[in-house]
Amino acid sequence: MSSSSEYMVGPTIGQGSFAHVLYAVHKTSGRPVAIKVVEQFSFRKHPWLLQTIMTEKEILQSSDSNSNEKKVSRPSWVVSLWAAFYDAQHLYLVMELCSGGDLEGLLSQAGILQEEEEEEEEEDSDEKSDGHRSFSSVQRERWIQHSVPFYASQIVNALQYLHSKIRILHCDLKPSNCLLHAETGQLRLCDFGSAIEMDRQSTTKTTTAAAAAADSSSDSSNRNRTWIPRGTTEYSCPEIIRATSPLALNEGVDYWSVGCLLYAMIHAGKSPFCHDSEALTVQAIKEHCQGRIGSHQQLKPSDKQTRNFQEWLGLSIGLLREDPEDRIQFWEENVFRHDLLQWDPAAVDRGDVILPRPHWKDEVKNAVLKDGNEGWTAFVQL
């Protein structure tokens, strides 16, 4: 069984509500990895959290075994899980290191992650005070023409693989759950804690921390608790937000999130329903479904928008339909086969694409690694 002693441990490269992700290097192979660390105390305080970690572990293992058994010749659209272990203080998931960070970081790096009013005020400025570039109209058009289709087409292909090959609904698609490789810009989906299996989706498994780090082969008889997936509200579809009891879900759940993602990629780096509070976010989604759009949102084509922008906006709006069956129909007829979303890696000129450079790259390069022989203390960031 794997243990912390097999790794040299570096700085934090990711942070969530209940976990942090550390850069590390496997001592024997020299392979850089990302280690997701969750405190055991969190499981006692939030009993549902263990279920999300177990779900993520099972799905990552299922994806890897599916690829190996069927010898699928394809890019790996799901981040690889290489080991899992635990001690008295923490649970650890050792995963593939995606050297480019995530899509949220790329949007910030590219300059699109900014307030709408700031964009208008500083459109002619080359540099913002916080170090992020402000888009000129030319820069924005280049981003939309080259980088958006490069990354959006990968999201579409990754989701198609998830639904058709391993039969999983992600239920929490958002920019920070789209990891990237720095050299190629290739995308991996991560964070499957809210995911459900399409073929047996209304139940989950109750387990222990020890079981979560052990072999996860199990049958449906162990799945005995009802489950409503809860992702990030601003990217969640109406049927999940309204749910008060277990319900049957379909691919439309993720298609709504893709609609929000496409919008974020062309406009301010955020979901069209992003607000300062969850209550306001839910209200914005409700108003959208009722046909009432807030005046500050740009979910309407305008003469000021370029043709490329309008085309991407049209795809986004088409997926933000209240009825999930309407989303599925729009996806099949207008998205999956759309010319903008036909991804051929060999045909892409990466000279025109903005490739990711995460904020932690230099920190990792200059870091003094701690020996995992120290146990859990090596994973504590002071």
What H or E segment, with its residue span, contains residue 259?
A: helix 252-266
Pair type for strands 81-86 and 203-205: unpaired
User: Residue 23: is it exposed, middle or buried by C-beta count within 10 angstroms (0-12/13-18/19+)?
Assistant: buried
Q: How far is CA 349 from CA 111, 183, 262, 324, 353, in A?
A: 21, 13, 21, 35, 7
Sheet harboring 90-96: ordered strands across? Answer: 81-86, 90-96, 32-39, 19-26, 7-15, 370-371
Phi, psi of 17 (to 5 degrees): -65, -35
Backbone phi, then psi, for 32, in 5-degree steps?
-70, 140
CA distance 64 to 216: 13
Q: Is the dihedral of CA 354, 356, 362, 363 positive or negative?
A: positive
DSSP-assigned states of every residue in 23-85: EEEETTT--EEEEEEEEHHHHHH-HHHHHHHHHHHHHHHHHHHHHHHHT--S---BPPEEEEE
Which two structure tokens, joined as six digits, stand for 247? 């319900």
| Residue 205 annotated as lining a ligand binding site | no
HSE, side-chain direction, 13 A CA sphere, residue 143? 25
Give Dmax (Cα) for the chain.
62
Return the amino acid letter for 286.
K
**CA distances (Å), 34 to each of 28, 81, 230, in order?**
16, 10, 25
Half-sphere exposure of 318 (CA within 13 A, CB side): 16
From the annotation, which residues make up the binding site for ATP?
A: 36
From the annotation, which residues make up the binding site?
A: 36
